[in-house]
Amino acid sequence: MDQFQHLIIEKNDGIALLVLNRPKQLNALNKELLSELNSAFELLREDLETKVIILTGSGEKAFVAGADIKEFASFNGEQGTELAKTGHMTVFNLIEEFPKPVIAAVNGFALGGGLELAMSAHVRIASDNARMGLPETSLGLIPGYGGTQRLPQLIGKGRALEMIFSAKMIDAPTALSYGLVNQVVPQADLLEAAQTMAKSFMKNSIVAMGYAIESVNAGLLEGSVGYDVEVQAFGDCFETEDFKEGTTAFIEKRKPDFPGA
Ligand code: DAK
């Protein structure tokens, strides 16, 4: 598994550690990284030795600081819709429906697409320095990788909409109190805590866990039309002046001045 440029995979005792590795961009998700994530999960699905997957970010600062803003700033509505659809299928739904447990070890900023990635995992453990948020509305966008659906599932509609409207980050203890993460540990202990959790899962039937994942997801499927609405609305955002202003302001390192409707 040494064919990856932005992903490090270490396999040990039935656990595959996947490290997202674009440290200079705070592990922001670009097309290559998303494509590599897809390939890695497809490989690990077939890999009989791997029982549990741990997903984390390289460095001590970020899990993933979002989708790569410099990459998507020039997209139009059609591209936005299309890429959101592809992203759902090839990465975020793939992880949510993965038949082996996936633990996100959130080691720092998990923002936008980064938090959406962590929410696709089955369980989340955060380090005490982690900060989480969906800042898309500050860029003239909405969450486009399932965040409008998975965040309210995890923390309830009121808190989810407050996080989306305010675009603010919450700290690890708040995320724990919301139920967004299952556990918070000192940063130095994060991987060990994730491994301890993985080992506690591995004492039980991974096959049964696959069926449990399928069953839990099936119970949430009734609302799945929400994902389609998100994809379309997300694409529409790319046609707005607010989106142009939001992403340009980020790249120019200034505060946005949204023209509005
Ligand atoms: N994209 C690209 N580069 C990023 C980045 C990002 N999301 N986040 C950080 N970086 C880069 C910075 O530009 C900077 O690069 P240089 O200027 O050094 O070249 C470097 O990483 C270090 O960042 P900072 O200098 O800003 O570090 P600070 O400690 O001062 O601040 C921060 C850390 C995490 C608070 C800050 O970097 C920040 O606010 N980052 C952006 C957070 C954010 O807004 N993320 C995007 C959310 S929107 C799509 C589907 C989904 C999405 C988009 C498209 N399609 C299907 C098309 C999802 C959108 C989002 O995720």
**Angle, vertex CA 214, rays to CA 211 and CA 217, nearest 5:** 145
Residue found by looking up tokens 């975020």 in the block:
92
Give distance in angstroms: CA of 109 to centre of ligand 1.
10
- Cα–Cα dist 109/54, whole Å: 17
* Residuewise pLDDT in 10s, the chain (261 residues): 668 999 999 999 999 999 999 999 999 999 999 999 999 999 999 999 999 999 999 999 999 999 999 998 888 989 888 888 888 889 999 999 999 999 999 999 999 999 999 999 999 999 999 999 999 999 999 999 999 999 999 999 999 999 999 999 999 999 999 999 999 999 999 999 999 999 999 999 999 999 999 999 988 877 678 888 888 889 999 999 999 999 999 999 999 999 986
The predicted structure's pLDDT at residue 227:
84
Which residue lies with its CA nearest to atom 8 of ligand 1? 65
Neighbours of 26 (CB within 10 A): 21
Give distance in angstroms: CA of 66 to centre of ligand 1.
6
Q: Where would I find the beta strands (DSSP E) of 183-260?
A: 183-185
Can you read off the two tokens belonging to residue 141?
A: 């966008």
67 closest CA partner among 22, 130, 104: 22
State pTM to two decimals.
Answer: 0.94
Q: Where are the alpha helices (DSSP H) in 134-189?
A: 147-155, 157-166, 172-178
Can you read off the two tokens belonging to residue 94?
A: 């793939």
**What sign has the CA pseudo-torsion 161, 65, 90, 15?**
negative
Question: Is 116 marked active-site?
Answer: yes
- Cα–Cα dist 68/64, whole Å: 10
Q: Which CA distances in Å does 80 have to 69, 75, 197, 215? A: 13, 6, 37, 31
How confident is the model over 191-241, as pLDDT tens digits? 999 999 999 999 999 999 999 999 999 888 776 788 888 888 899 999 999
Query: Going from the N-terminus, what domains does the chain have, and what CATH number goes with each?
Result: 7-188 (3.90.226.10)
Annotated catalytic residue within 36, 96, 116, 230: 116
**Angle, vertex CA 51, rays to CA 45 and CA 56, nearest 5:** 85
Dihedral of CA atoms 76, 78, 82, 87 in degrees, nearest 10, equals: 30
Max intra-chain CA distance, the chain: 56
Residue found by looking up tokens 């997300």 in the block:
234
Annotated catalytic residue within 136, 162, 230, 241: 136
Which residue lies with its CA nearest to atom 44 of ligand 1? 135
Can you read off the two tokens belonging to residue 155?
A: 């923390």
Question: Is 214 marked active-site?
Answer: no
* Chain centre to alpha carbon of residue 154: 13
Q: What is the DSSP letter of 63?
A: E
